[in-house]
């Protein structure tokens, strides 16, 4: 487990990413720092262009570096300083050189927020993701709004899951097929993995097919590594300057 994580944002965050401020509701303030608490309990589908059995999950070096990956998340239960984020969806496209340990910052990070969330929820979710150690970037993070949809072929644990990003999957699509375990009924899963996330359950493994494009960057994989996490992201965001709310996030459907 990763334990309690505290994230401190620079005073220029709001201006640098064009998100404005997330105004606190007066609850869930951290007593020690006065910052805003956030907690996101979510399902995370991680797809990478690594080989089908991901070495980093077992503490081994990746088959290739840097590794491009796409994370699509659905918040089952979550909040930012009292603002509920249940049901919100997001995606993160990035690259990583080396293993999955948290002291390695991500490269070329883009965050996508589902258009069904309110403007306040999108700002809160973006602030939490950018400050969380799991998604912290070496440089500026790009943020945009788009459509994110999940389609499941069945409730069977071995059923395929398809995630679409962008209207009519214009931005991209991920298909996750779980690897069948020895009992024939459940996917292969890894307990106590090496992971960037605070995993609450064993991580299910699968094979992914990915088609994704973002402003000249592409990820096209037919037999990549897939992981399904039930994880908690959480911490404290401090140092946000209260500025007037900006215009809505750009719509990049």
Comparison of pLDDT for 75 and 11, the residue scoring more: 75
Q: Can you give the pLDDT at residue 80?
A: 95
Q: What is the pLDDT of residues 120-158, one digit of tens each?
A: 999 999 999 999 999 999 888 999 999 999 988 778 889
Q: What is the pLDDT of residues 236-253, one digit of tens each?
A: 997 554 444 455 665 555
The domain segmentation of the chain, as residue ranges, is 7-146+178-238
State the DSSP string of 119-182: HHHHHHHHHHHHHSGGG-BSSPPEEEEE-EEEEES-SSTTS-EEEEESGGGSSEEEEEEEPB-T
Q: What is the mean pLDDT of residues 91-120?
A: 89
Q: What is the pLDDT of residues 3-38, one digit of tens each?
A: 333 333 332 233 333 343 343 333 466 566 568 999
Q: Can you give the pLDDT at residue 22?
A: 41
Q: What do you get for the CA distance between the two ends of the chain, in Å?
A: 36
Report the 10 Å Cβ neighbour count for 66. 15
Q: Can you give the pLDDT at residue 157?
A: 85
- State pTM to two decimals: 0.80
């Amino acid at each position: 487990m990763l334990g309690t994580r505290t994230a401190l944002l620079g005073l220029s965050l709001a201006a640098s990413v064009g998100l404005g401020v997330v105004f606190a509701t007066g609850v869930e303030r951290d007593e020690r720092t006065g910052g805003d608490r956030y907690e996101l309990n979510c399902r995370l589908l991680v797809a990478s262009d690594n080989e089908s059995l991901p070495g980093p999950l077992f503490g081994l070096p990746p088959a290739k570096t840097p590794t491009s990956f796409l994370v699509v998340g659905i918040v089952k239960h979550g909040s930012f300083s009292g603002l509920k984020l249940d049901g919100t969806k997001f995606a993160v496209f990035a690259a990583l050189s080396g293993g999955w340990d948290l002291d390695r910052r991500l490269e070329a990070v883009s965050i996508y927020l589902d258009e069904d969330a309110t403007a306040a929820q999108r700002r809160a979710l973006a602030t939490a993701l950018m400050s969380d150690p799991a998604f912290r970037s070496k440089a500026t993070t790009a943020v945009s709004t788009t459509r994110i949809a999940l389609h499941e072929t069945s409730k069977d644990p071995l059923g395929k899951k398809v995630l679409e990003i962008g209207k009519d999957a214009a931005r991209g699509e991920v298909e996750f097929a779980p690897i069948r375990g020895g009992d024939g009924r459940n996917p292969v899963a890894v307990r106590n993995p090496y992971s960037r996330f605070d995993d609450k359950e064993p991580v299910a493994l699968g094979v992914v097919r990915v088609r994704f494009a973002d402003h000249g960057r592409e990820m096209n994989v037919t037999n990549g590594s897939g992981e399904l996490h039930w994880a908690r992201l959480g911490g404290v965001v401090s140092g946000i300057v209260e500025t007037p709310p900006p215009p809505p996030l750009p719509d990049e459907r």
